[in-house]
């Protein structure tokens, strides 16, 4: 295979739990990307059957331009805390948070995304289309006035975030982020998520509700494409399908995350637009989330 010649490392982080058959497809699709250098961080959240043997299957692909780091958690962190742990291990200039049951279907995706961000200093995030497993159902619905159906278009952060939440765009799980920018904004940490400890305190499920998309949009532009670059796996025991507490409390979790974004002291170019959109999202959920614990949290911790 011929790889594109680049100098910047891209870190693909995979918070994983069980489902080795899916995770194998995920890692193989990363190996098949035309971009190098790549590092893969596989964080095994104390799966009942260790994923170490799975990771060892890819040792033959490792060289100076491709590394896979396997980490097994000594105890189960939970979905959100394992995600946070994983992204904090990334060493690359660019970061791809990759669910363990997703896989790339476009081998040029990373190369294209990095090229766009290298050429456009104000662009700190690339967002691409995906389809659900064994279907042709696309996750993004690109509006007709956006010229990104089969190519890329760079949108201002405020334009993108309005499309993302209320403009009919939909949502996806295909991102490439500027790692340093995202971490400098605290995009993967509290208060932009409901961590395991906070979830336990408020009797909620843990989740980040893709808050990093909002936070990153506040600082600059976003590159968008309607091209399908990956497939979204739907295993029966995935977090969203199998966790009853997540289904029962997701409105409350979303309220907390969006309220926190609204109250956060964001200072980026599009901070006001992001704050207003987060406020709109939070207050639309008020009628669904009445809880003395949440009221106490928002009136003490967040004031």
pTM for this predicted structure: 0.92
For the chain, what is the radius of gyration of the CA atoms? 19
> What residues form DSSP beta bridges with 126?
176, 223
* Confidence (pLDDT) at 197: 95
* Confidence (pLDDT) at 168: 85
Q: Would the pLDDT of 236 be above 70?
A: yes
Share of the chain above pLDDT 70, in %: 93
295: confidence class by pLDDT, cuts 50, 70, 90:
low
| Joined tokens for residue 174 | 């295909």
Give CA 27 to chain center in angstroms. 16
In the chain the domains, ranked by start, together with CATH numbers, are: 4-300 (3.90.550.10)
| Joined tokens for residue 100 | 């363990």
Pairing of strands 152-155, 66-72: unpaired
**302 C-beta neighbours (distance < 10 Å), count:** 13
Whole-Å CA distances, 59 to 15, 67, 86: 19, 9, 20
> What residues form DSSP beta bridges with 39?
11, 67
CB 247 within 8 A of CB 271: no
Q: Would the pLDDT of 149 be above 90?
A: no
- Average pLDDT for 192-220: 95
166: confidence class by pLDDT, cuts 50, 70, 90:
confident
Dump pLDDT digits (tens) for 10-63.
999 999 999 999 999 999 999 999 999 999 999 999 999 999 999 999 999 999
d(CA 126, CA 109): 10
């Amino acid at each position: 295979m011929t790889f594109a010649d680049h100098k910047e490392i891209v870190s693909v982080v995979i918070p994983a739990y069980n489902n080795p058959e899916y995770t194998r497809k995920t890692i193989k699709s990363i190996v098949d990307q035309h971009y190098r250098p790549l590092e893969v961080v596989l964080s095994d959240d104390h799966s009942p059957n260790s994923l170490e043997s799975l990771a060892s299957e890819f040792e033959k692909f490792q060289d100076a331009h491709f590394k896979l780091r396997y980490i097994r958690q000594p105890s189960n962190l939970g979905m959100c805390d394992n995600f946070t742990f994983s992204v904090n291990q990334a060493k690359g200039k660019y970061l791809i948070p990759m669910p363990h049951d997703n896989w790339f279907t476009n081998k040029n995706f990373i190369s294209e995304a990095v090229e766009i961000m290298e050429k456009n200093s104000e662009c700190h995030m690339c967002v691409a289309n995906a389809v659900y497993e064994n279907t042709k159902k696309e996750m993004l619905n690109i509006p007709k006035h956006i010229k990104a159906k089969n190519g890329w278009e760079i949108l201002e952060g405020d334009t993108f975030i309005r499309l993302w939440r209320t403009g009919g765009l939909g949502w996806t799980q295909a991102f490439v982020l500027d790692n340093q920018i995202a971490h400098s904004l605290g995009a993967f940490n509290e208060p932009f998520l409901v961590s395991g400890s906070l979830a336990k305190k408020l009797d909620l499920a843990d989740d980040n509700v893709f808050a990093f998309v909002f936070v990153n949009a506040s600082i600059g532009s976003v590159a968008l494409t309607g091209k399908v670059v990956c497939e979204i796996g739907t295993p029966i025991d995935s977090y969203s399908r199998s966790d009853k507490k997540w289904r029962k409390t997701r409105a409350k979790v979303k309220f907390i995350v969006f309220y926190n974004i609204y109250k956060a002291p964001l200072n980026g170019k599009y901070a006001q637009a992001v704050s207003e959109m987060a406020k709109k999202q939070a207050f639309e959920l008020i009628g669904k989330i009445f809880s003395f614990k949440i009221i106490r949290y928002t009136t003490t911790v967040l004031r």
